[in-house]
Amino acid sequence: MPLLGQTAPDFVADSTQGPIHFHKWIEGSWCLFFSHPKNFTPVCTTEIAQTAKLSRLFEKRGVKLIGLSVDTVESHKRWIKDIETVQNVTVTFPLIADPTLEVAELYQMVHEDELATTTVRGVFIIDPAKKIRLALYYPAVVGRNLNEILRVVDALQLSDRYSVATPANWSHGEDCFIADTLQDQKEIEKLFPKGFRGERPYLRYVSDPSISRE
Ligand code: BEZ
């Protein structure tokens, strides 16, 4: 199973947009790679539709979207057409066909005690260096919150850019912390010349730097 910080496993697979060589396809972008259990099922339909509805927001953050299930390319294409009709949205991102579970195994998307022969709802955020930055598994009966995935992308990109960490329930624009891994005083003064606030030495609050500095 790929762990946080490790390189996302590479693969070649068929998709609704032709064969995909994953590492080449990522091509220096962020990526949201997700699996769903089965086409033409209710929860999965709403998830693909919601992802499509938010695709401009992912694009704005430089995140490419790609889904996967055990269904065939033909099934994916029929389902996408149906989603476009019943959910009134255009699906512009590719869906990978993984009937042999070859790719699913690389990402440990098959949890046999949850679903015997198909993938669970896997979520992987991969950065431009192809490192896994978030790995989540959701059960079959619970649809994912795509706004939460966007929130994590925002938090990761903010952290990478400004050496900050984000508190529980943080969202864009709210205060964050100087990353706990940053302890060098000179470096802190250089990166945070206005200093920080906090009632404890380990609670080093700063304003969201993407707002206070831009
Ligand atoms: C659903 O999308 O509703 C679903 C798919 C597979 C198993 C259970 C639920």
Task: Determine if ligand 1 sits within 6 Å of the CB of residue 106.
Answer: no
Q: Which mean pLDDT values do the consecutive 10-residue runs of the chain (214 residues) have?
A: 93 98 97 98 98 98 98 98 97 98 98 96 98 98 98 98 98 96 96 94 95 73
Task: Determine if ligand 1 sits within 6 Å of the CB of residue 46.
Answer: no
pLDDT the model gives residue 1: 73
Q: Which atom of ligand 1 is nearest to the CA of 45?
A: 2
Contact indicator for 66, 18 with CB cutoff of 8 Å: no
Distance CA 18, CA 12 (A): 10
pLDDT the model gives residue 59: 98
Pocket test for ligand 1, best of 47, 141, 142 (most atoms within 8 A of CB): 141
Q: What are phi and psi of 150, to 5 degrees?
A: -60, -40
Task: Determine if ligand 1 sits within 6 Å of the CB of residue 42.
Answer: yes
Pocket test for ligand 1, best of 41, 86, 110 (most atoms within 8 A of CB): 41
Q: What are phi and psi of 178, to 5 degrees?
A: -65, 130
Kindly report the pTM of this predicted structure: 0.96
Task: Determine if ligand 1 sits within 6 Å of the CB of residue 41.
Answer: yes
pLDDT 10s digits, 66-112: 999 999 999 999 999 999 999 999 999 999 999 999 999 999 999 99
Task: Determine if ligand 1 sits within 6 Å of the CB of residue 38.
Answer: yes
The number of angstroms, rounded, from the C-alpha of 198 to the middle of its chain's C-alpha atoms is 31
Residues forming a β-bridge with 33: 66, 124
pLDDT the model gives residue 212: 73
pLDDT the model gives residue 214: 59
pLDDT the model gives residue 89: 98
Contact indicator for 156, 124 with CB cutoff of 8 Å: no
CA-based nearest residue to 17, from 66, 88, 83: 66
Beta strands in the chain (DSSP E): 12-15, 20-21, 30-35, 63-69, 95-97, 121-126, 132-138, 164-165, 176-178, 205-206
Distance CA 26, CA 5 (A): 16
Active-site residue identified among 44, 70, 91, 103: 44
